A and B are shown apart, each in its own frame.
Chain A
Amino acid sequence: MPPLLRRALVRLLEIIPVLWVVITLTFVMARWVPGGPFDTERQLTPEAKAHNMEYYGLDQPLYVQYMKYLWNFAHGDLGSLYRHPDWTVNELLAKKASVSAELGMWASLVALVVGLLAGVIAAARPRSKTDYTTMTLAMVAICLPSFVLGPLLLLIFGLHLQWVGVMGWNSASDRVLPSLVLGLYYAAYIARLTRGSMLEVRNQDYIRTAQAKGSPPRRVLFVHALRNALGPVVAYLAPTVAGLVTGSFVVESIFQIPGIGRMFVEAALNQEYELLLGVTVLFSAILLLCNWVGDLLITFLNPKAAID
């Protein structure tokens, strides 16, 4: 087996023990807290509560529940909801995750396109007016996180100009503001990274060679320089995508989008253990897979990095 493929497979298999750590930590944290899913304001009779606890297996010793959860998890069954018995965790996650995934995808697109463009434009003429303007704008965007930018944009474009709807996730125009709000923050980081590594690459010999043999400046900038400057950006992409998923907590609550982020908070508040575990595992799996893909891409862009 070629060493690179082997390395990729090993890194993929390493995800499993980390996921196990996540499950165990979440399980311990969730169960360590007193109370349970049936301790609501509207008190159930002791008999009904006992019946429910027995039905969902919550009356068994914790280690039995833990082993059962792991067993079911390994078979793809994420468990049931205590307060909404006609849904399973699998169904609910599938339904809500698609919304969050779409939002995350649009936001990633915004982050990548805007960030790379801005970074390259700024690096084309360092210390020029364009450079300073772009980088100042990037800094401002970093200081306007989603929970500041979201309400402000909503106030301007939703309420005063009324160009877009204020909330919901129905028409195409509903996608614009949330994606922008979520993506711009990361676009700013990507712009700064791109500019920094473009400036490092700029002085290398092969760039001078490309210029000397008469490649048009734009080609030198976007093809010769950008490809080699992408390393740090790709390395940053993994936490970015993870940030886009978790960042959607705020954006989903501002724009009233029925996604996975809001569900997580509710699950923690209502002590829906299996839903909580499901969401946490899903987030962790996304993060770990992103890291893995980022790792592969870096090796692909710069094979030297693999030999460490």
Chain B
Amino acid sequence: MTEVIPIPQATARSTLWGDARRRFRRHRLAVAALVFLALMAVACVVGVAGVMLRAYGSFGWPYGYEEQNLNLGPIMFSGSHWLGTDLLGRDLLTRLLVGGFVSLTVGFLATGMVILIGVAYGMIAGYAGGRLDRVMMRFVDILYALPFTIFIIMLVVLLDKPVQRLTQSMGHGSWAPYCKLCLLFLAIGAFEWLNMARVVRARTLELKTLAFIEAARALGRSPWQILWHHLLPNLAGLIVIYATLSVPAVILLESFISFLGLGVQPPLTSWGDLINQGASNMELYPWLLIYPSGFFALTLLALNFLGDGLRDALDPRASRD
């Protein structure tokens, strides 16, 4: 007589993303960072929406980001200006939110470009292998060796006048700052994808030798189907990690360029631009430097903690200690 051994029932299905979520929640700092970032993003969006409402309907936010009040001048704090005003009496909180919106938007849009180019390039090179892989990676190596900060600065400086002329000839001279901003994030995105491509290619090379890809090929799936349905889901964790790391890198680069006075143009502003203005007036009005620096550094800190937490959650092998 054989004893029937009960099959142990799984109490809860454990999936990749479920496990990741559980591991992420244990990471207190990362959760706090996520909450902080969400609040910051919401505040920036509310600020911008309020400013736009005010511009079109004269209600909404109490101040415009470019509204000057020369009678007021720079003040540190008042009941109506919580973070004070700058040299021209513009409300600093409003400018910080609008600047934050610009900085975060550039960060996320450029990262979107990084994901698009980097993932497609890396997957194709890795999956194709052989000569195509070698040629594509050699191209990445060459781009890698170029001093791309310099190229971005050069691009932004050199294209300043043509953009202005072009927008003026189209009869929309006031669009020039926005066009330049788009150009900036295109330029940043065009150089930042290299890392993503390398990482994705390396992981694709690993994955393509595994049985499930071979099985898919044996079943007659086309290369594109394999890339899309079988490889991409397995790369998702890696892509999320590297995308989170590229957001602060891009924000840093944008602020760096705006700090040099080459990025966003007035009346538009960004955190780097605000820090620049604060730095030039810090002897008399230190809060103009301290508040933007604080906003910027805290956001960067939160993004980095979030990246660490996501790496622990999605790729536990990579960071055991």
Give residues in A with beta carbon < 8 Å to B.
18, 21-22, 25-26, 29-30, 32-35, 126, 139-140, 142-145, 147-148, 150-152, 154-155, 159, 196, 199, 242, 246, 249-250, 253-254, 264-265, 268-269, 276, 279-280, 283-284, 287-288, 291
Contact = CB atoms under 8 A, between A and B. Distances in A.
A300 B142 CA distance: 24
Interface in B301-320: 301, 304-305
B145 A152 contact: no
A147 B259 contact: yes
Contacts of A34: 161-162, 165
B3 interface: no
A246 B275 contact: no
Contacts of A126: 321
A284 B157 contact: no
13 contacts: A26-B154, A30-B154, A33-B162, A139-B304, A144-B293, A148-B293, A151-B275, A151-B279, A152-B289, A152-B293, A155-B282, A246-B147, A265-B153
B293 A253 contact: no
B309 to A, nearest CB: 12
Interface in B273-308: 275-276, 278-279, 282-283, 286, 289-290, 293, 296-298, 300-301, 304-305
A274 to B, nearest CB: 14
A264 B278 CA distance: 24
B154 A280 contact: yes
A246 B260 CA distance: 12
Nearest to A253: B260
A43 B300 CA distance: 46
Contact of A246 (B150, B279, B296): B150
A241 to B, nearest CB: 12
Contacts of A26: 154
Nearest to A127: B321
B301 A139 contact: yes
B252 A145 contact: yes
Say what secondary structure dominates the interface of chain A: helix
B146 A22 contact: yes
A249 B260 contact: yes
A262 B140 CA distance: 29
Given A25-B151, A152-B290, A246-B147, 17 more contacts: A22-B146, A33-B159, A33-B161, A33-B162, A35-B161, A139-B301, A139-B305, A143-B297, A143-B300, A151-B275, A246-B149, A250-B256, A254-B279, A265-B260, A268-B154, A280-B150, A291-B145
B273 to A, nearest CB: 11
B304 A18 contact: no
Contacts of A33: 158-159, 161-162
B133 to A, nearest CB: 15
A30 B158 contact: yes
Contacts of B74: none
- Which of A25, A148, A150, A249 is most buried by chain B, counting CB atoms within 10 A of its CB? A148
B162 A287 contact: no
Contact of A29 (B149, B154, B283, B298): B154
8 A-B pairs with the lowest CB-CB distances in the bound complex, closest first: A151-B279, A143-B300, A268-B157, A147-B259, A143-B301, A33-B158, A199-B321, A283-B147
Contacts of B305: 139
A119 to B, nearest CB: 13
Nearest to A284: B147
Given A25-B151, A147-B275, A148-B297, A265 B321 contact: no
Nearest to A195: B321
A147 B158 contact: no
B155 interface: yes
A199 B320 CA distance: 10
B189 interface: no
A250 B260 contact: yes
Contacts of B158: 29-30, 32-33, 268
B276 A280 contact: no
A284 B1 CA distance: 80
B85 interface: no
Interface in B130-176: 142, 145-147, 149-151, 153-155, 157-159, 161-162, 165
B147 A287 contact: yes
A140 B301 contact: yes
Nearest to B159: A33
Nearest to A243: B149
Contacts of B279: 147, 150-151, 254
B111 interface: no
A232 to B, nearest CB: 13
B262 interface: yes
Given A199-B321, A254-B279, A18 B256 contact: no
A139 B305 CA distance: 9
B255 interface: yes
Contacts of A265: 153, 157, 260, 262
